[in-house]
Amino acid sequence: MSWGTAGPFIEMIDDTHIEKLLARIPDLEEQMAEPDTATNPGKLQTLVREHAALKKMGEKAANYYRAKKTVHEHKELLNSDESDDELRDIAQTELEELESELPRYEDDLLMALLPPDTDENRNAIMEIRAGTGGDEAALFAADLYRMYTHYAENKNWKIDLVDASPSAIGGYKEIVFSVGGEDVYRDLRYESGGHRVQRVPVTESSGRIHTSAATVAVFPEAEPEDDIDIPADEVRVDIFRSSGPGGQSVNTTDSAVRMTHVPTGIVVQCQDEKSQHRNKEKAMKVLKARILDMKRREEAQEQGQKRRALIGSGDRSERVRTYNFPQNRLTDHRVNLTLYSLDRIMEGDLNELTNALRAQDMEIRIGEELESLVAGSE
């Protein structure tokens, strides 16, 4: 992101507000040490996250106030009649460096003061579906899955296949999988939406470029603190013989599972494992993630909350990205970013793209926080 977003607004943050926040650290440490907390994983995780966020905020605040104090001292030195020319030259040089760094410290502190995003460290459920374009769209869906698989390998994440519907020529009509590891949802949340591809299909004999599409949805996995309780009588479970890509041994038993959540109509299925029990576990994980997403959407709508434009919301209708193979070009339409390295991106090199999306999303969050601060001061 571009430094200096916080700039004139950082002074609106009262020092006592930061002191009050930091004063919670000892209290959190006491709560984490209580015997009852150790037996409540959800509560412990919540406390640990808040404690880590406050410790980080304290470090950012210390860096900012230290830099601000040093800038003030150097300005006093420059204005002092007791300073000689050589000392003024040194102070002026150091002051210029400090003033160029101060906006970064300002933004770092403001970002640390933002309400914690508890989803960032979660695992994710991803769904890729072939859109318009027939067989070519199914092949593109398979290419996207391969791209995310390579990206996950680069990040030391684990991909676990949940369900897949292969197409006749080797692609996927739909594929569902989970991704586990550090900061998974933080980076993958921006993948939700419509992905358009422009290339010559393998089935095209005349060499004409075709346009087809696939859609991606990303959901954070539900965790104990979300309190997603699904009564057994609200779920219809159907068992059937697998026809998925799990290998010949998968097809010998009725192990595939389809779950229908009756109140919402959400349907998920898993047929990747030989074990019916494991397929039930995977399907339930996806079902809880889908219900959590629906619950959050409804709450946001009721409260009139704005949804940040870049955050993956599961909305498949919005076109977010275009992959142009003849020109080796990828364009992300949300951040107006064009990269001529599509070959590397399809091999999982998504870092530059992800960093740009995260940076702009952070600017949006900072802007919303500043609006809140301004509104609160009026």
HEC secondary structure over the chain: CCCCCCHHHHHHCCHHHHHHHHCHHHHHHHHHHCHHHHCCHHHHHHHHHHHHHHHHHHHHHHHHHHHHHHHHHHHHHHHCCCCCHHHHHHHHHHHHHHHHHHHHHHHHHHHHHCCCCCCCCCCEEEEEEECCCHHHHHHHHHHHHHHHHHHHHHCCCEEEEEEEEECCCCCEEEEEEEEECCCHHHHHHHHCEEEEEEECCCCCCCCCCEEEEEEEEEEECCCHHHCCCCCHHHEEEEEECCCCCCCHHHHHCCCEEEEEECCCCEEEEECCCCCHHHHHHHHHHHHHHHHHHHHHHHHHHHHCCCCCCCCCCCCCCCEEEEEECCCCEEEECCCCEEECCHHHHCCCCCHHHHHHHHHHHHHHHHHHHHHHHHHHHC
- Judgement on whether residues 258 and 329 belong to the same structural domain of the protein: no
- Judgement on whether residues 178 and 322 belong to the same structural domain of the protein: yes
Banded pLDDT at 317 (limits 50, 70, 90): low
Contacts of 295 (CB under 8 A, 6+ apart): 228
Terminal CA-to-CA distance of the chain, rounded, Å?
Answer: 28
Which of 303, 323, 338 terminates a domain? The answer is 303
Is 248 a residue whose pLDDT tops 50?
no
Q: 233 with 220: CB under 8 angstroms?
A: no
Is 4 a residue whose pLDDT tops 60?
no
Which of 4-8, 61-65, 73-77 reaches the highest mean pLDDT?
Answer: 61-65
Lowest mean pLDDT among 58-72, 112-126, 235-249: 235-249
- Judgement on whether residues 35 and 71 belong to the same structural domain of the protein: yes
- State residue 324's pLDDT score: 97
Which of 84, 116, 148 terminates a domain? The answer is 116
Is 250 a residue whose pLDDT tops 60?
no
**Which two three-digit tokens encode residue 91?**
């102070």
- State residue 310's pLDDT score: 60
Residue-wise pLDDT for 70-93, tens only, equals 988 888 888 887 777 788 888 888
- Judgement on whether residues 44 and 106 belong to the same structural domain of the protein: yes
The larger pLDDT score, comparing residue 127 to residue 255, is at: 127
- State residue 377's pLDDT score: 54
- State residue 314's pLDDT score: 44
Banded pLDDT at 226 (limits 50, 70, 90): confident
The larger pLDDT score, comparing residue 99 to residue 242, is at: 99
- State residue 169's pLDDT score: 85
Distances from the Cα of 333 to the Cα of 256, 336, 347, angstroms: 39, 5, 21
Banded pLDDT at 252 (limits 50, 70, 90): low
Decide if 378 is inside a domain.
no
- Judgement on whether residues 297 and 252 belong to the same structural domain of the protein: yes
Phi and psi dihedrals of 42, rounded to 5? -65, -45
Residue 266, strand partner residues: 261
**Which two three-digit tokens encode residue 54?**
């406050």
Q: 283 with 259: CB under 8 angstroms?
A: yes
The arithmetic mean of pLDDT across residues 91-116, rounded, is: 84
Residue-wise pLDDT for 301-310, tens only, equals 776 665 555 6
The arithmetic mean of pLDDT across residues 228-250, rounded, is: 75
- Judgement on whether residues 293 and 313 belong to the same structural domain of the protein: no
- State residue 2's pLDDT score: 47
- Judgement on whether residues 177 and 313 belong to the same structural domain of the protein: yes
- Judgement on whether residues 285 and 252 belong to the same structural domain of the protein: yes
Share the mean pLDDT of the chain: 85
**CATH number of the domain encompassing residue 193:** 3.30.70.1660
- Judgement on whether residues 69 and 14 belong to the same structural domain of the protein: yes
Residue-wise pLDDT for 152-168, tens only, equals 999 999 999 999 999 98
Domain that holds residue 87: 7-116
- The rounded percent of the chain whose pLDDT value lies above 70 is 87
- State residue 304's pLDDT score: 60
- State residue 307's pLDDT score: 53
Decide if 111 is inside a domain.
yes
Distance between CA 149 and CA 151 in Å, rounded? Answer: 5
Residue-wise pLDDT for 263-288, tens only, equals 999 999 998 888 889 999 999 999 99
